């Protein structure tokens, strides 16, 4: 066992001390956060006001359209279309709307054109069109003797609430559990791929360079395999902790870096807050308050357990493949399919589990050891017993440990033969024979 820790320490130090580790762990995330911060900054600070001239000869808008921080409507009812075009050319206004006297309010063919020179963004176009249509809709209702209040009353939907038997339901908690479960499961999914592949490449490099022949003269193949798995796993865990700290610090500093700008202006920045950015500081306070409703004392230890359990289970399989292949990378690709398919199935099942954590498919995925590291995190986010029962959680952990011990034993026997075999293209049939060989 002492030799295993020596190999693990060597793997850990050799990777942590490389410049690539510092670049991938610190610089790369900072570049991503910095780039995203710039997107938000320019979305908040860089928006130019749009001044839209309105020549309403049909008195359609009654001299009034709602302005906002980005769009300003200027009524020029005496202006002609040609004079408005000149103003746009001289950049006195961003664009103009010309409504002729014969505009038919109830016609489905008459259109209102917004003429511009400089491109108006798609979101701004939608905002302008929505404001114009709102006024036209009110005009049409009045012409049909239907008041706005009558239409609003007809459109009003019935209040439908979902309440569990245990007590009051929290609408925000369900959405947060969905997001937290999806993110947690997806992170483990990425980790299994990245660090499992890292183990496989490390084993393959030592085999092709013939260093493994020297090492196994003083270290048992199983000790060498476990040392590599533990060492690379420690690197991954350290890297992951640093990313969490960097992400937390960046999110905490972002409001300060924005200089107290209006957060509502970033509502259309992609990816912010599950596809939409926070609608101001009040929304952020609500989100932070709802996060406290997630059982982090359960979620974080379980995340660590399934991170380590899933990594150890899959990395042993990746190591077995790495020991069997030679220099041809296509050999590894053909052998990896039976290993990567369960990971892909896990992410598919997880998309079902985050929405319906008690379904039969979610229960199966959270118990089956090849998918449980990903699927169980989606269920745990909903809490115990709402998302998963305590018995299912304990059973899943026991099965995962048993699965890890089984795959490690099989991978160790494959590793022992494959690491010293050269020149022969391996197959899974032959690797199974290595695993169950009695010597």
Using CA atoms, how far apart are residues 188 and 194, in angstroms rounded to an integer?
10
Using the predicted structure, report yes or no on whether residue 362 has a pLDDT greater than 80. Answer: yes
Domains of the chain: 2-41+172-435 (no CATH), 49-155 (3.40.190.10)
Using the predicted structure, report yes or no on whether residue 161 has a pLDDT greater than 90. Answer: no
Using CA atoms, how far apart are residues 59 and 206, in angstroms rounded to an integer?
81
pLDDT tens, residue by residue, 105-153: 777 667 888 888 777 777 788 888 888 888 888 777 777 777 777 777 7
What one-character DSSP code corresponds to residue 63?
Answer: T
- Side by side, which strands form the sheet with 50-56? 71-75, 50-56, 95-99, 114-116
Using the predicted structure, report yes or no on whether residue 50 has a pLDDT greater than 90. Answer: no
Assess contact for 246 and 29: CB atoms under 8 A.
yes
Token pair in block for residue 415: 């590793």
Q: What average pLDDT does the segment 270-283 reach?
A: 44
What pLDDT sits at residue 63? Answer: 80
Lowest mean pLDDT among 334-338, 347-351, 414-418, 424-428: 424-428
Using CA atoms, how far apart are residues 375 and 347, in angstroms rounded to an integer?
7
Confidence of residue 190 (pLDDT cuts 50, 70, 90): confident
Using the predicted structure, report yes or no on whether residue 221 has a pLDDT greater than 70. Answer: yes
Using the predicted structure, report yes or no on whether residue 154 has a pLDDT greater than 50. Answer: yes
Assess contact for 10 and 232: CB atoms under 8 A.
no
Q: Is the peptide bond before 385 cis (omega within 30 degrees of 0)?
A: yes
pLDDT tens, residue by residue, 86-108: 888 888 888 888 888 888 777 76
pLDDT tens, residue by residue, 191-213: 888 888 888 888 887 777 777 66
Q: Kindly report each contact of residues 302-308 with a partner whose C-beta sits within 8 Å and lies 24 or more positions away, as own/partner.
A: 302/376, 302/377, 302/380, 302/393, 303/184, 303/188, 303/377, 305/397, 306/188, 306/372, 306/373, 306/376, 306/377, 306/400, 307/188, 307/191, 307/237, 307/240, 307/373, 308/233, 308/237
Rg (CA), the chain: 31
More confident residue, 352 or 156: 352
């Amino acid at each position: 066992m002492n030799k295993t820790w020596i190999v693990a320490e060597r793997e850990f130090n050799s990777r942590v001390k490389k410049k690539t580790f510092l670049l991938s762990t610190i610089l790369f995330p900072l570049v991503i956060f910095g780039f995203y911060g710039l997107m938000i900054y320019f979305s908040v600070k860089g928006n130019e006001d749009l001044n839209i001239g309105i020549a309403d000869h049909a008195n359609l808008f009654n001299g009034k359209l709602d302005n906002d921080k980005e769009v300003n409507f200027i009524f020029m009812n005496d202006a002609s279309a040609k004079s408005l075009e000149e103003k746009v050319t001289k950049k006195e206004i961003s664009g103009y709307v010309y409504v002729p006297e014969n505009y038919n309010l109830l016609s489905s063919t008459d259109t209102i054109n917004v003429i511009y020179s400089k491109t108006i963004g798609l979101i701004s176009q939608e905002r302008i069109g929505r404001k114009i249509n709102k006024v036209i809709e009110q005009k049409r209702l009045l012409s049909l003797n239907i008041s706005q209040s009558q239409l609003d009353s007809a459109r009003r939907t019935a209040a439908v609430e979902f309440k569990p038997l245990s007590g009051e339901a929290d609408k925000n908690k369900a959405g947060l559990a969905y997001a937290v479960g999806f993110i947690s499961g997806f992170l483990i999914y990425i980790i299994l791929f990245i660090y499992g592949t890292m183990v496989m490449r490390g084993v393959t490099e030592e085999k092709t360079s013939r260093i493994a022949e020297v090492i196994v003269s003083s270290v048992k193949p199983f000790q060498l395999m476990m040392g590599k798995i533990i060492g690379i796993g420690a690197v991954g865990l350290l890297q992951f902790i640093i990313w969490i700290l960097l992400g937390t610090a960046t999110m905490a500093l972002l409001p300060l870096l924005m200089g107290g700008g209006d957060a509502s202006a970033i509502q259309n920045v992609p990816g912010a807050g599950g596809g939409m950015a926070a609608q101001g500081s009040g929304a952020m306070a609500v989100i932070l308050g709802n996060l406290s409703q997630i059982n982090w004392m359960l979620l974080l230890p379980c995340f660590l357990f399934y991170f380590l359990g899933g990594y150890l289970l899959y990395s042993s399989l990746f190591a077995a493949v790495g020991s069997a292949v030679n220099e041809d990378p296509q050999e590894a690709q053909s052998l990896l399919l039976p290993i990567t398919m369960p990971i892909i199935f896990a992410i598919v099942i997880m998309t079902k589990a985050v929405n319906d954590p008690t379904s039969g498919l979610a229960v199966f995925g959270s118990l089956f050891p090849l998918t449980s590291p990903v699927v169980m995190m989606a269920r745990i986010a909903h809490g115990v017993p709402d998302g998963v029962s305590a018995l299912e959680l304990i059973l899943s952990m026991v099965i995962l440990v048993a699965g890890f011990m089984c795959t490690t034993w099989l991978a160790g026997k494959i590793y022992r033969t494959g690491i010293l075999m050269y020149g022969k293209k391996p197959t899974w049939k032959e690797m199974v024979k290595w695993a169950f060989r009695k010597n």
